[in-house]
Structure 1
Amino acid sequence: MARRTASEGGERRPTTIRDVAAHAGVSVATVSRILSGTYPSAPATRSKVMRAVRELDYVANANARGLAGASSRSVAIIVNSVVSPHYAHVAQGVQAQAALEGKLCIVGTTGGDPERELATVQLMRQEHAECVILVGNVVNNDAYRERMTEYARALALAGSRLVLCGRPALGPGVPALVVEYDNTGGAYAITSHLLSAGHRRILFLGRREGHTTPDSRIAGYRNALADHRVPHDPGLELDGTMERGEGYRMVRQRLEAGPPDFTAIFAVNDLIAAGARQALREHGLRIPDDISMVGFDDLPPSADIDLTTVHVPHEELGRTAVRMALERGTGSADRTGQAEHVMLGTHIIVRDSVRPLPPDQR
Structure 2
Amino acid sequence: MARRASESGGGQRRSTIREVAARAGVSVATVSRILSGDYPAAPATRKRVMRAVEELDYVANAHARALAGTSAKSIAIVLNSVVSPHYAHVAQGVEAQTAAEGRLCLIGTTGGDPERELAMVRFMREQHTEAVILVGNVVADERYHERMSRYAHALAAIGSRLVLCGRPPLGPDVPAVVVEYDNVGGAHSATSHLLSAGHERILCLGSRPGYTTAEGRVAGYRRALAAHRVPHDPALEVEGMMLWHEGYRMMKERLATGRRDFTAVFALNDLIAGGAVRALTENGLKVPDDVSVVGFDDLQPSLDLDLTTVHMSHEEIGRTAVRLALEHEARGGTPPHVMIGTHLVIRSSVRPREVS
TM range, normalised to the smaller chain? Answer: 0.7 to 0.9
Q: Give the distance between the partners of 2:330 and 2:103, measured in 1 at CA.
A: 19
1:72–1:128 Cα contact (<8 Å) kept: no
Q: Please list, as runs of the form range in 1=range in 2, the aligned pairs for 1:169-248 lying within 5 A after superposition.
A: 169-248=169-248
Q: Give the distance between the partners of 2:101 and 2:265, measured in 1 at CA.
A: 42
- Paired positions, count: 291
> Which residue is 1:321 aligned to?
321
Task: State which of 336, 339, 345 in structure 2 corresponds to 1:340.
Answer: 336
Q: Give the distance between the partners of 2:137 and 2:112, measured in 1 at CA.
A: 10
Structure 2 unaligned blocks of 5 or more? 1-62
Q: Give the distance between the partners of 1:169 and 1:71, measured in 2 at CA.
A: 31
Q: Give 1:300 shift.
A: 1.5
Correspondence 1:129 to 2:125? no
Correspondence 1:101 to 2:121? no
Deviations 1:305-349 (A, max 9, x none): 111000111100100000001013676xx33x4x31000100011
Deviations 1:152-193 (A, max 9, x none): 000000110000000000011100000011000000001000
* Larger-Rg structure: 2
Q: Give the distance between the partners of 1:214 and 1:117, measured in 2 at CA.
A: 20
> Which residue is 1:355 aligned to?
351
Correspondence 1:258 to 2:258? yes
Moved over 6 A (4+): none
Deviations 1:17-60 (A, max 9, x none): xxxxxxxxxxxxxxxxxxxxxxxxxxxxxxxxxxxxxxxxxxxx
One-letter amino acid of the structure 2 residue matched with residue 316 of structure 1: E
Q: Give the distance between the partners of 2:111 and 2:329, measured in 1 at CA.
A: 34
Structure 1 unaligned blocks of 5 or more? 1-62
> Which residue is 2:165 aligned to?
165
Q: Give the distance between the partners of 1:182 and 1:102, measured in 2 at CA.
A: 30
1:78–1:109 Cα contact (<8 Å) kept: yes
TM norm structure 1: 0.78
Q: Give the distance between the partners of 2:244 and 2:79, measured in 1 at CA.
A: 19
1:72–1:129 Cα contact (<8 Å) kept: no
> Which residue is 1:294 aligned to?
294
> Which residue is 2:138 aligned to?
138
> Which residue is 1:35 aligned to?
none
> Which residue is 1:304 aligned to?
304
Give the direction of change, closer, same or farther, for the CA distance of 1:237–1:297 in structure 2 (3 Å limit): same
Identity percentage of aligned residues = 66
Deviations 1:71-109 (A, max 9, x none): 861100001111111111000000000111000100011
Q: Give the distance between the partners of 1:143 and 1:70, measured in 2 at CA.
A: 37
CA-atom RMSD in angstroms: 1.6
Q: Give the distance between the partners of 1:197 and 1:83, measured in 2 at CA.
A: 34
One-letter amino acid of the structure 2 residue matched with residue 260 of structure 1: R
Q: Give 1:251 shift.
A: 0.8
TM norm structure 2: 0.79
2:161–2:329 Cα contact (<8 Å) kept: no
> Which residue is 2:7 aligned to?
none
> Which residue is 1:275 aligned to?
275
1:190–1:309 Cα contact (<8 Å) kept: yes
2:242–2:272 Cα contact (<8 Å) kept: yes
1:138–1:211 Cα contact (<8 Å) kept: yes
1:307–1:353 Cα contact (<8 Å) kept: yes
